[in-house]
Structure 1
Amino acid sequence: MLSTDALDYHLPPGRIATHPVEPRDAAKLLVLRRDDPGRFEHRTIADLPSLLDPGDRLICNTTRVLPARFRGFREETGGGVTGLYLHDDPTPGVWLAMVKARRHKPGSIIRLLTRETSDAPAAPSPYTLEMLEPVEDPPGAWRLRLRADTLPLPDAPTVLEAVGLTPLPPYILAARKAAHDAGDDGTDREQYQTVFAEPLSCAQPGSVAAPTAGLHFTPRLLEALAARGVARTGITLHVGAGTFKPVETETVEAHPIHAEWCSMSAQAIAEIRQTRQAGHRVVTVGTTSVRTIESYAPLADRGDFPAHLSTRLLLTPGCSFGWTDALLTNFHLPRSTLMALVAAMLQHPDEPPASDGTPVGVLRLKAAYAEAIARGYRFYSFGDAMLIL
């Protein structure tokens, strides 16, 4: 069992990136090689083509981030309300959303506000949400009935396009507030989206957080990778709010990991198999891509896999990876399942722990984080990255 305390570390003040670097591929890149884990290389994302070989294949999450944050007021009191759309309920016209207000009461009507722009302040929109009932999973979420002043009732992506704000992580919003940085939602919408994000689908509308390793890519970098002979395969995992949920249990394995919708096509599975059979590497872009392909790997090996599934896959040191050969990832929050996943990439499944029982993958990861902190790397969603080969 992996102690949650083993994944803790101290991040000095000011190291949380509140905006991405420009251009995106100018971000710093800490390179680790599993055959020599004590050696660190300091590069940039733009160096990625020279670090990969012709025939290697990038696995990219093509989900699109919804403008899922919303603001409004209670029509009966005028009290302010903020929330985060999670996904549609099975009942038509009903949302599942996190809601923050002074008091939660079934029957309350929330009038949504339009998003503020440089040309117009926020104003009452034609959309309201009726609070129906709380739900157990995730804690703090409610079922809300969407209503419109005029019919027909639009779908969630249409409403959110009018009223929604970019769902930046809480730690970025807090860091901006501390720095008296108001930000600009129009800029955030562009910067908190990958260049390979696909159009929204009404059936599975998108993510409420970005697959952040993908934020580093630019059209120029994709062209350079293609010229190098590095292939690219798209998969989809819609990132949920649970990605920010801290591990509050004594061990990581006891943590109730969140479920996320993911999908792989038969062509994507075939491309991964062909790449590995040819002796090349499957390089996952981000932990969401790892969770997706590792959820599908055992199913595909049995020859029976669904077009999409809900995954609760938890990867910790000692596990085996079916299809993942290398990983590009950002620096993650302490005491998180994402740190556990990255630590698992830094050790062999049968490698014994250190004398104090700590998995060696955790020790190697924390050494890499200490190196990044000492070298001035920026952390979290808009921060720098590491490449494990």
Structure 2
Amino acid sequence: MKVNMFDFELPEELIAQVPLENRTESRLMVLDKQTGSIRHEIFKNIKNYLQKGDCLVLNDTKVLPARLLGAKVDTNAKIEVLLLKQLEGDKWETLVKPAKRVKIGTVISFGNGKLTATCVGVEKHGGRILEFRYGGIFYEVLEELGKMPLPPYIKEQLEDQARYQTVFAKERGSAAAPTAGLHFTKELLEELKENGVIITFITLHVGLGTFRPVSVGDINEHEMHSEFYRVSEETAELLNDVRRSGGRIITVGTTSTRTLETITAENNGEFKAGNGWTDIFIYPGYSFKAIDGMLTNFHLPMSTLIMLVSALAGRENVLQAYNEAVKERYRFFSFGDAMLIK
């Protein structure tokens, strides 16, 4: 299957640069995966499409202020570092710009020496392994010196850093937000609970895969980067109960989807608690074992994310929906509007 089968025309002005003032006022496209029919809504009206006994699964990962601006100790050349994944101790997998300036042994200083990093490894995809040195607690230093790692297609400065976090973010460790969850407020989640909708959480720390474009012509040749996930005993038991009682399992975001599909693939369709690393790649032809529907944002052309959405709703239905979204001037990507696939 060719990657260009998932291409579509997207005017640049439809890429949302800032979040809406009110999270729940974004638009919501409701796509029926069986018929391809489309309805246009406001996000807060998602409650009209969720029934008593349905279960919403959200990713409670918290985005690290993982973008660090520093300088090489020997030349004072400016270096930008993006933390991706903690490996062991104070060693992290990172992306650096410009990468050609950072070789093994290079030392980078941040915040006038409050934090330093030594390059101790070079990865095949061009990333760098950095080992950090600091006084005190690493995450407190990071909160002081780091910036929110907004995707490269967002050019505007984010005035309120909390707007790139979900209101339920708890488990720190992501290099990017699980953006489908950005539309919820605590009040809307409470209202859904009062209506009998079950809310539960998994954790998947969003990593390098979010930043890697598909650079091959054939989908089968693309390699996903692994990301850490965790599913608790409580959540696994709850999901099995929902399944037995006939309720729908609706994931919020591709991260929640990949997590649930990973654990059910390993357990013959049953939800079991666990944690580990997943590099699952879902594209058309995949047989879903865990979910009945998904809430998601509008994704990049030819990305692994639009491929996953197409696996659930059908490529033709999805491309038709995306063309409709362009025509109706929906806002795209991280701070954009949402789609509910039911």
TM-score of the superposition, structure 1-length normalised? Answer: 0.84
1:302 is displaced (CA, Å) by 7.7
Q: Does the 8 Å CA contact 2:264/2:270 hold for their aligned counterparts? A: no
Equivalent of residue 326 in structure 2, options 373, 377, 380: 373
Alignment deviations for residues 65-124 of structure 1 (CA, whole Å, 9 cap, x no partner): 00000001112111111010112232x3322211113622322221113xxxxxxxxxx2
Tell me, yes or no, if structure 1 residue 247 matches structure 2 residue 229. no
Q: 3-state DSSP class of the match of 1:257?
A: coil
In the alignment, the residues of structure 2 paired with residue 288 and residue 47 of structure 1 have an alpha-carbon distance, to the nearest angstrom, of 23
2:308 is matched with 341
Contact 1:328–1:385, Cα closer than 8 Å, also in 2: yes
Q: Which amino acid aligns with 2:184?
A: F
Q: How does 1:137-176 map onto structure 2 within 5 Å? A: 139-148=125-134, 151=135, 154-155=137-138, 157-173=139-155, 176=156
The answer to whether structure 1 residue 99 and structure 2 residue 85 are counterparts is: no
How far does residue 306 in structure 1 lie from its aligned partner after superposition? 6.0
Please give the alpha-carbon distance, in whole angstroms, between the structure 1 residues aligned to 2:225 and 2:168.
25
1:379 CA displacement: 0.1
Question: Among 83, 86, 90, which residue is 1:85 paired with?
Answer: 83
Does the Cα contact within 8 Å between 1:259 and 1:312 map onto a contact in 2?
Answer: yes
Rounded Cα–Cα distance in structure 1 between residues aligned with 2:309 and 2:277: 21
Which residue, out of 192, 208, 222, partners 2:164?
Answer: 192
Residue 132 of structure 1 aligns with which residue?
Answer: 120
> Which consecutive segments of 4 or more residues in structure 1 shift more than 3 A?
300-306
In structure 2, the residue corresponding to 1:341 is in which secondary structure?
Answer: helix
> Cα gap change, 1:218/1:275 in structure 2, threshold over 3 Å: closer, same or farther?
same
The offset of 1:25, in angstroms, is 0.7
Partners of 1:302 and 1:319 lie apart in 2 by 14
One-letter identity of the residue aligned with 1:65: V
Mapped partners of 1:267, 1:19: distance in 2: 36
The alignment partner of 2:299 has SS state of: coil
> Which letter does structure 2 place at the counterpart of 1:191?
R
Is 2:7 the counterpart of 1:5?
no
Q: Which amino acid aligns with 1:144?
A: L
Q: 1:299 aligns with which of 266, 277, 296?
A: 266
- Any idea what the Cα deviations from partners look like across 1:280-303, whole Å, max 9, x if unmatched? 100100000100001011333387
Equivalence for 1:70? 68
Separation (CA, whole Å) in 2 of partners of 1:11 and 1:214: 23
In structure 1, C-alpha distance between the alignment counterparts of 2:49 and 2:285, rounded to whole Å: 26
**Structure having the higher Rg:** 1
* Alignment-derived partner of residue 316 in structure 1: 283
Indicate the SS of the match to 2:63: coil
Distance in 2 between the 1:258 and 1:93 partners?
Answer: 21
State the AA in 2 paired with 1:105: K
In structure 1, distance between residues paired with 2:71 and 2:205: 28
- The DSSP-based 3-state class of the residue aligned with 2:203 is strand
CA deviation digits over 1:233-267, x for unaligned, max 9? 10010000221211111121210111111111122
CA distance in 2, matches of 1:344, 1:230: 25
Q: Is 1:259 the counterpart of 2:226 in the alignment?
A: yes
SS in 1 for 2:96: strand
How many percent identity over aligned positions?
40
Cα distance in 1 for residues equivalent to 2:317 and 2:119: 47
CA distance in 2, matches of 1:287, 1:300: 20
Measure, in 2, the Cα distance between the counterparts of 1:299 and 1:242: 21
Structure 2: gaps (5+ residues)? none
8 Å CA contact retained: 2:230, 2:274: yes
SS in 2 for 1:14: helix
Whether contact under 8 Å (2:269, 2:289) holds in the other structure is no
Q: Are 2:242 and 1:275 aligned?
A: yes
CA distance in 2, matches of 1:306, 1:275: 15
Deviation digits for residues 199-239 of structure 1 (CA, Å, limit 9, x no counterpart): 43xxxxx1000000000000121121112110111001000
Equivalent of residue 208 in structure 1, options 175, 180, 189: 175
1:218 corresponds in structure 2 to 185
RMSD across aligned positions (CA): 1.7
Greater Cα offset, 60-69 or 71-80: 71-80
Q: Which runs of 5+ in 1 are unaligned?
A: 114-123, 177-181, 201-205, 347-360
Equivalent pairs, count: 341
* AA matched with 1:97: T
Alpha-carbon displacement from aligned partner over 1:178-209 (angstroms, at most 9, x marks no partner): xxxx443xx1x200000111143xxxxx1000
Residue by residue over 1:342-380, the C-alpha shift from the partner in whole angstroms, topping out at 9 and shown as x without a partner, is: 00111xxxxxxxxxxxxxx11111100000111110000
